[in-house]
């Protein structure tokens, strides 16, 4: 068993499914939820947890995006297109979420020695490859994609997923967004319009992506067969059981709900400051 598979192997996985909450599900709640779960798991109060979540018509900005010189104008472009704009509490750059994008979080305790950052990424990469044995999935940076990173997941050079990580209080959250269906290039064009409006030709301290929509696609486009969010959740749960161990459905505990309220307030305040 390699190190990434060892990270997946647990005595029990709790699964929290928030994939069908609908358009009213505020994405700010998702980032507070993962922080609350990571805190409880890190404190030994809860078992390792997998969470599935979907948000409608949302652009999630990274902290770095809030430094753009014409941020207000960029946000206006997105809002005029019908998108809600929020700022997440971790690094990276803008991503687009809609009803065809599935987000998955794996939340585990950090060990005494600390989980090497690459192990978290490799664990998620291992899991996704197991979910789609019919596809040849690579992990390397796809230049021209939105939110590029060294663990962009692609098939034939076209990106369909990105992985991020967040660590706090001895808990680790490894998060992935998977473009399941719909048009990957149309999503990329929306994010490109944000950067065009928010950066213009200005020189910036940070490097922002020059988005080429054709390098992005959905899984449905890439494997050339119909795919729903539910199809992918079923593959996810089957693979997590085979690689990780026993699985049970669950929900937040009262301890987690109490911690969640504090994190939610922080995320709301951060958004108010960043988008003021």
Q: Could you list the active site residues?
A: 147
Bridge partners, 97 (sequence order) = 58
Cα-based distances in Å from 77 to 80, 161, 250:
5, 24, 39
Burial of 59 (0-12, 13-18, 19+ CB in 10 A): buried
Integer Cα distance of 36 and 244 in angstroms: 22
- Work out the end-to-end distance of the chain between its first and last CA atoms, rounded to an integer number of angstroms: 49
Integer Cα distance of 53 and 27 in angstroms: 9
Q: Residue 116 corresponds to which tokens in the numbers above? A: 């090497």
Question: SS3 for 143-206, per residue?
Answer: CCCCCCCCCCEEECCEEEEEEEEEEECCEEEEEEEEECCCCHHHHHHHHHHHHHHHHCCCCCCC
Integer Cα distance of 270 and 195 in angstroms: 21
CA nearest to 3, candidates 153, 172, 121, 128 = 121
């Amino acid at each position: 068993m390699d190190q990434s598979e060892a990270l997946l192997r647990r005595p029990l996985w709790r699964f929290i499914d928030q994939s069908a909450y609908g358009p009213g599900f505020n994405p700010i709640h998702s980032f507070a939820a993962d922080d609350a779960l990571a805190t409880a798991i890190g404190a030994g109060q809860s078992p390792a947890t997998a969470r599935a979540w979907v948000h409608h018509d949302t652009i999630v900005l990274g902290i770095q995006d809030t430094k753009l010189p014409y941020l207000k104008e960029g946000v206006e472009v997105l809002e005029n297109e019908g998108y809600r704009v929020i700022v997440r509490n971790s690094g990276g750059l803008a991503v687009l979420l809609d009803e065809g994008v599935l987000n998955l979080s794996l939340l585990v305790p950090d060990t005494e020695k600390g989980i090497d950052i690459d192990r978290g990424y490799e664990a998620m990469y291992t899991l996704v490859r197991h979910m789609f044995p019919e596809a040849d999935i690579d992990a390397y940076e796809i230049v021209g994609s939105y939110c590029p990173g060294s663990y962009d997941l692609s098939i034939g050079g076209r990106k369909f997923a990105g992985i991020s990580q967040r660590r706090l209080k001895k808990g680790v959250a490894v998060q992935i967004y998977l473009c399941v269906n719909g048009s990957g290039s149309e999503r990329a064009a929306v994010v490109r319009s944000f950067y065009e409006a928010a950066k213009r030709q200005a020189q910036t301290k940070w490097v922002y992506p020059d988005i080429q929509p054709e390098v992005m696609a959905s899984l449905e486009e890439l494997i050339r067969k119909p795919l729903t969010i539910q199809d992918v959740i079923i593959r996810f749960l089957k693979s997590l059981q085979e690689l990780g161990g026993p699985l049970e459905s669950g929900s937040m505990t009262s301890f987690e709900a109490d911690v969640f309220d504090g994190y939610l307030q922080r995320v709301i305040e951060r958004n108010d400051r960043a988008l003021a």
